[in-house]
Amino acid sequence: MVITSSILKEKYKDYANPLDKIRRETEKGNLIRLNRGIYETEGDTDPCLLASVILSPSYLSFDYALSYYGLIPEKVYTITSASLNVRKNRTYLNRFGRYEYSDIPEQAFSEGLVCLEKEGRSIRMASMEKAVCDSLYKWRKVQSIRDLKILLFEDKRIDEEIFENSDFELMTRLASLYHCRNTDLLIKLIRKEYTHGQRS
C-alpha cells in the first residue's frame, strides 16, 4: 500500500518524534521510500504499479509499453513513463528499480490510454498505438518515410507483424497531436502503406 509522510505523521502522532519513527520503520524495511514523502508498505509490489506514484501525472509508455505489447524483442528492466511539464528527463532509483520519465506534448498526454490491472491495483499505460507515437516523439528525428521505416523496423526492431495489427485510425489520430516531424511522417507512412491495419 502506498502511504504518504503526512498520513504516517498522523499515525505516529503519539510518538515523541514521528519523523524518527518513520525513519526507524524505513530502516527496518517496514516502509520503502519511493520518493520524497511517499512510501510503499509491501516489498513484493509489482514495480510498474508504483511509477505514477513516484511522479505524477504520468503513465507507462516508451520502451516499457513497447516491450509489454511485444513490439520490441528486448526485456525491459527500466520502468519508462510519459510525464507532463517536467521539462527535462527525470530518473528515480529505489528498492523497486529504476524509473525514467520524459515529457510529451500536453495536447497528446491524456489521449490513447488504457488501464493496466495487477494485484488489485490499476495504473494507466499507453495503448500500443500511443506507445509508438510517444516513442517517435522521443527518438531521433528522421527526414523521410524511408528513414522512418529504418528507425522503426531496423534500428528499434519493431515487430512488423504486430505493428501491422495496429489500429491505424487511432494511431493516425494520436500522431496528429504531437506536431513533430517523426509523427507527421508516421501519418504519411500509414496512408501510403497501410489500410485498415493491413498493407495495401
Tens of pLDDT, residue by residue over 49-107, are: 999 999 999 999 999 999 999 999 988 999 999 999 988 899 999 999 999 999 999 99
Orientation of helix 128-138 relative to helix 168-175, angle to 10°: 40
pTM for this entry: 0.90
Q: Which amino acid is at 56?
A: S
What per-residue string of b and e applies to 41-79 under the rule 16 or more CB within 10 Å gives b? eeeebebbbbbbbbbeebbbbbbbbbbbbebbeeeeeeb
Average pLDDT over every residue of 24-43: 92
Q: What angle do CA 119, 120, 125 make, to 5 degrees?
A: 80
For the chain, what are the domain ranges?
2-127, 129-199
Q: 122: which strand partners?
A: 117
* Assigned C-alpha cell, 179: 506536431
